[in-house]
Amino acid sequence: MRTKKSTYSDSHIQEDETHNSESISDDYAEDIVDKREQIEKEQKEDTVMNNTKESLTTISEQSQINDLTNLEIQDIEGIGPTTARKLREAGIFSVMDLAVAAVEDLAVDINASKESAASFIMASQKLLRESDVLDKEFITAETALKKRRSLLRCSTGSSMLDDLFLGGIETQAVTELYGEFGSGKSQICHTMCITAGQPIESGGLNSGVIYIDTEGTFRPERLEQISSTRSIDPVRALQNVAVCKVYNSAHLELIVKNLGKYIDDYKAKLVVVDSIISLHRAEFSGRGTLADRQQRLNSIMHKLLRISEIYNVAIIVTNQVQSAPDTFFGDPTKPTGGNVIGHASTYRVYLRKSGENRIAKMIDSPYHPYSEVRFTINEKGTDNLDEGKKSKKE
Ligand code: GTP
Ligand code: MG
């Protein structure tokens, strides 16, 4: 396994060198395009997104998700048989599908104005609220706290790393793991494929997992090894994970668009996208295409965020790093994708190597302390440091 991984890492070293040799001014250009184009776009989108976010804060009980099967698209105010047919043709079959749709995509898909698309989405969310599937627009802080306490957390496989997330990676959130090659992003994702299937009392989500592999680095043998060394039945563990190998950015966009359906099909509470940016980065490399790339990534990320909230799932996205030439102090690396990925992620975690160990640092979170923790990678996947070794070194 290790040999396999190191061959793979070697190929990434070369890739990484190629990335680094992209001229630094390209990185700057990325930022400038980000800042200018994004501000305009986000201002426009924020009106819709704020409404969406406000009304999609949380979903309280899993049982409520099941009730959704009773709701039909035609139950939505203002949607008649013709619109319902157009929506079906666009792949939107349920009220949930419509509630998580993006305004611009929907307008194109059903050949309607953005205003109509927005009104259909808002009406679907209204129906979900009236059916008590979504929170009312305003809830008391006390209720909000109760709901936060009821969200689920999935263990990363290392209790030391779990501490960074105050007990594990949360549902109703998008967690971004970024770091250089070999820093452990994919290993955390592999380990969580196993932990997510475990009962809630054992730190799992008692659920299926959807693994979207854009880099061709998913290794079922590794899952087998991780589950066996953790005394978990590997056959059942592997049956629990639905993997989708994605070859280009349009394919990724399509998968994300239909993610709600896959989440239902595979009863998933954990969705992994490893990695979120590699395909877009490779395909939209010219300067003239940066704005388009950022817009597409923005749309994917916001869709993921809405899905995490509405379906009560934990979503992990991995991201690469690039050098930041304007950093004078500290680590001159930053996540790729500019502000687009960071803005839509609920939590951002920076991973780096430290000898045989790994360090994870919470970079951006609405309420976690900005702390860092150490963990290691071994046969069990992500694991706690051997305390004996740790104290010898310190
Ligand atoms: P990129 O995808 O290349 O950006 O990197 P990444 O952050 O996803 O790296 P990944 O999670 O794949 O970590 C690779 C590292 O994990 C290797 O360099 C090894 O140090 C370690 N590793 C991978 N597989 C094994 C294994 O079976 N046993 C042990 N002990 N370590 C492993
Ligand atoms: Mg990886």
pLDDT digit string, tens, across residues 318-333:
999 877 666 566 666 7
When comparing pLDDT for 27 and 176, which is higher? 176
**In this predicted structure, what is the pLDDT of residue 20?**
41
**In this predicted structure, what is the pLDDT of residue 385?**
92
User: Is 60 exceeded by the pLDDT of residue 12?
Assistant: no
User: Is 50 exceeded by the pLDDT of residue 177?
Assistant: yes
Taking residues 185-208, report their average pLDDT: 97
Among all ligands shown, which has an atom nearest to the Cα of 187? 1
Tell the residue nearest (CA) to atom 14 of ligand 1: 182
Q: Atom of ligand 1 at shortest distance to CA of 179?
A: 7
Pocket test for ligand 1, best of 4, 5, 176 (most atoms within 8 A of CB): 5
Residues in contact with ligand 1 (CB, 6 Å cut-off): 1-2, 5, 9, 12, 179, 181-187, 217, 320, 377-379
Pocket test for ligand 1, best of 156, 194, 377 (most atoms within 8 A of CB): 377
Q: In what order do the strands lie in the sheet containing 268-274?
A: 241-245, 208-213, 268-274, 314-319, 173-179, 347-354, 357-364, 372-378, 381-383
HEC string of the chain?
CHHHHHHHHHHHHHHHHHHHHCCHHHHHHHHHHHHHHHHHHHHHHHHHHHHHHHHCCCCCCHHHHHHHHHCCHHHCCCCCHHHHHHHHHCCCCCHHHHHCCCHHHHHHHCCCCHHHHHHHHHHHHHHHHHCCCCCCCCCCHHHHHHHHHHCCEECCCCHHHHHHCCCCEECCEEEEEEECCCCCHHHHHHHHHHHCCCCHHHCCCCCEEEEEECCCCCCHHHHHHHHHHCCCCHHHHHHCEEEEECCCHHHHHHHHHCHHHHHHHCCEEEEEEECCCHHHHHHCCCHHHHHHHHHHHHHHHHHHHHHHHHCCCEEEEEECEEECCCCCCCCCEEECCHHHHHHHCCEEEEEEEECCEEEEEEEECCCCCCCEEEEEEECCEEECCCHHHHHHHC
CA pair distance 374, 158, nearest whole angstrom: 10
Q: How close is the Cα of 102 to the center of ligand 2, in Å?
A: 28
User: Is 70 exceeded by the pLDDT of residue 341?
Assistant: yes
**In this predicted structure, what is the pLDDT of residue 96?**
86
Q: Atom of ligand 1 at shortest distance to CA of 6?
A: 18
pLDDT tens, 111-169?
999 999 999 999 998 888 888 777 777 888 888 888 777 799 999 999 999 999 999 99
**In this predicted structure, what is the pLDDT of residue 36?**
52
**In this predicted structure, what is the pLDDT of residue 182?**
94
**In this predicted structure, what is the pLDDT of residue 325?**
66
Taking residues 292-306, report their average pLDDT: 91
Q: How close is the Cα of 159 to the center of ligand 1, in Å?
A: 19
- 8 A C-beta contact, residue 362 and residue 175: no
Tell the residue nearest (CA) to atom 2 of ligand 1: 181
Going by pLDDT thresholds of 50, 70 and 90, the confidence category of residue 15 is very low
pTM of the model: 0.77
**In this predicted structure, what is the pLDDT of residue 176?**
95
Q: How close is the Cα of 185 to the center of ligand 2, in Å?
A: 5
User: Is 90 exceeded by the pLDDT of residue 18?
Assistant: no
Q: Atom of ligand 1 at shortest distance to CA of 1?
A: 27
**In this predicted structure, what is the pLDDT of residue 44?**
46
Taking residues 203-216, report their average pLDDT: 97
Q: How close is the Cα of 274 to the center of ligand 2, in Å?
A: 7
Quote the percentage of the chain above a pLDDT of 70. Answer: 78
User: Is 70 exceeded by the pLDDT of residue 93?
Assistant: yes
When comparing pLDDT for 263 and 10, which is higher? 263
Quote the percentage of the chain above a pLDDT of 90. Answer: 51
Tell the residue nearest (CA) to atom 25 of ligand 1: 2
User: Is 80 exceeded by the pLDDT of residue 63?
Assistant: no
Going by pLDDT thresholds of 50, 70 and 90, the confidence category of residue 342 is confident
**In this predicted structure, what is the pLDDT of residue 47?**
39
Among all ligands shown, which has an atom nearest to the Cα of 179? 1
| Least confident residue range of 8-17, 247-256, 344-353, 370-379 | 8-17
For ion ligand 2, residues whose CB falls within 5 Å: 185-186, 217
Q: How close is the Cα of 79 to the center of ligand 2, in Å?
A: 44
**In this predicted structure, what is the pLDDT of residue 133?**
73
Among all ligands shown, which has an atom nearest to the Cα of 213? 2
Going by pLDDT thresholds of 50, 70 and 90, the confidence category of residue 287 is confident
Q: How close is the Cα of 27 to the center of ligand 2, in Å?
A: 22
Q: How close is the Cα of 182 to the center of ligand 2, in Å?
A: 7
Taking residues 288-304, report their average pLDDT: 89
Tell the residue nearest (CA) to atom 1 of ligand 1: 181
User: Is 60 exceeded by the pLDDT of residue 354?
Assistant: yes
Q: Atom of ligand 1 at shortest distance to CA of 222?
A: 27
Tell the residue nearest (CA) to atom 12 of ligand 1: 186
**In this predicted structure, what is the pLDDT of residue 388?**
56
Among all ligands shown, which has an atom nearest to the Cα of 319? 1
Q: Which domains does the chain have, with CATH numbers?
A: 70-130 (1.10.150.20), 151-393 (3.40.50.300)
